[in-house]
Structure 1
Amino acid sequence: MDKKLKDIAARLLLREEPPRLSPLHVWDDALESEIRELNWGARGEETVIKALMAGLYLLNDSLDASYSFAQQIEFDATGAYWHGLMHRMEKDFRNSKYWFMQAGRHPVKEKVKSGVSLWLKENSSFGAETRGEGVTLLLEYRDDIAWTPSSFVDLITSQQKKGANNAVVSIVEHLQHLELKELFKHTLGAAGFGV
């Protein structure tokens, strides 16, 4: 099991292109089958395993399958975080914010805030092509001032509008992917599996 899980996790984490803000279909159908076939045995009912399954499916852009696991563990901070991410990706923004609030002071939130700042410093120049709605917030994220899951929902909402700047959308997709990977790594570790 450990080898199979590590192989699936590596393929999901090494995805070249980040998931769309709101995926329209599963990223990799073959991987979807492999995730479904994971046999957890007695561990299958553990909260952390359900969180791991929610994460595996969400990293594969399988929103419905992710939801089926996240809703079983809403009482858990990590489960609530996965639940919030899934709702954000399906464009249920208000519900997303609710679940992020339920996740409380989850340790991943601080890691994501720092990671977002670092990524923006290393990968974004904010030239003329990145002007427009959302850039002010991205600059605040870069300066490690403003990132929260709730403010990120607002930024994503603004980028869902027709005519959104493609350069900004691309940056936001990378940041969402960073957040997904950070929560996934946390969940893997909590389940006793290293990355």
Structure 2
Amino acid sequence: MLPFNSKTSLEPAQNRARGEAVSESFGDARRTLSAYGSRVSEILALDQHGDRLMPLVAAGGSSTEARALLSKRKASDLFAGARAPEAALGGLWLYFSCFQECHEIVQNVASPEGSFWHGIAHRQEPDAGNAAYWFRRVGSHPVFGDLRERAGEIAARYPGAGFRMGARWDPLAFIEFSEMAREQPGSESESAALEIQRAEWQLLFDYCARPRS
């Protein structure tokens, strides 16, 4: 496994501190990530083993070493046999806040997963209108049910955040909430948005990167 101290992080220190603990929803991150293969596990180990709290606005990359490694890899190298290899690679770039690299990939992935990552990327850009367009292209998605459940658990821990959900996951409502939360650094709203965004990434990445059943 590659050394953690090789990471060069550009994200806010406050967000890094929040991300130190492994999220309850992801369980044992190292064990979970082993399902994606050793190469992917080693890359994610450069920044909190898939448990990073990505900023609500992408700003540069969080790991120079991850960028260097990913630039040498193709989707077929990292995600052979996965459900959605190209989409998984786009999501991996996004995990390290590499907006441009993610966007170059997912804009050419003509699938609900490609549109999903495309929407997240533009939400973090931030470009709310463009993000909404791509989430409308997604329609419904298999991860929405679990994401609704996870988001509900997170929102319950932050009653002051003011995030209200309906019976189904609404990505457009989360765009609006993220827009508001980023204007309130250090608030319960920001904390809830960051954790929900992490759960969103984990669920979608798992869906894309797992081997086809």
Report the TM-score when normalising by structure 2. 0.72
Among 181, 192, 206, which residue is 1:185 paired with? 206
Shift of the 16–104 alpha-carbon distance from structure 1 to 2, 3 Å rule, reads closer
Among 18, 26, 32, which residue is 2:67 paired with? 32
Q: Give the deviation of 1:9 after TM superposition.
A: 4.0
For residue 78 of structure 1, what is the aligned residue in structure 2?
Answer: 113
Q: Give the deviation of 1:72 after TM superposition.
A: 0.7
For residue 55 of structure 1, what is the aligned residue in structure 2?
Answer: 91
Gaps of 5+ in 2: 1-35
Runs of 4 or more above 6 Å deviation: none
1:107 aligned counterpart, secondary structure: coil
Q: Give the deviation of 1:8 after TM superposition.
A: 2.1
More helix by share: 1
Identical residues among aligned pairs (%) = 18
The alignment covers a number of residue pairs equal to: 175
For residue 117 of structure 1, what is the aligned residue in structure 2?
Answer: 152
Matches within 5 A, 1:35-46: 35-39=70-74, 40=76
2:108 aligned counterpart, secondary structure: helix
Report the TM-score when normalising by structure 1. 0.78
Contact 1:2–1:193 (CA under 8 A) maintained in structure 2: no
Q: In structure 2, how many angstroms separate the alpha carbons of the residues matched to 1:47 and 1:188?
A: 6
Per-residue displacement from partner, 1:59-100 (whole Å, max 9, x unpaired)?
111010000100011x20000000000000001101101101
Q: In structure 2, how many angstroms separate the alpha carbons of the residues matched to 1:16 and 1:109?
A: 19
Contact 1:55–1:82 (CA under 8 A) maintained in structure 2: yes
CA-atom RMSD, angstroms? 2.8
Gaps of 5+ in 1: none
Q: In structure 2, how many angstroms separate the alpha carbons of the residues matched to 1:34 and 1:91?
A: 26
Shift of the 11–164 alpha-carbon distance from structure 1 to 2, 3 Å rule, reads closer
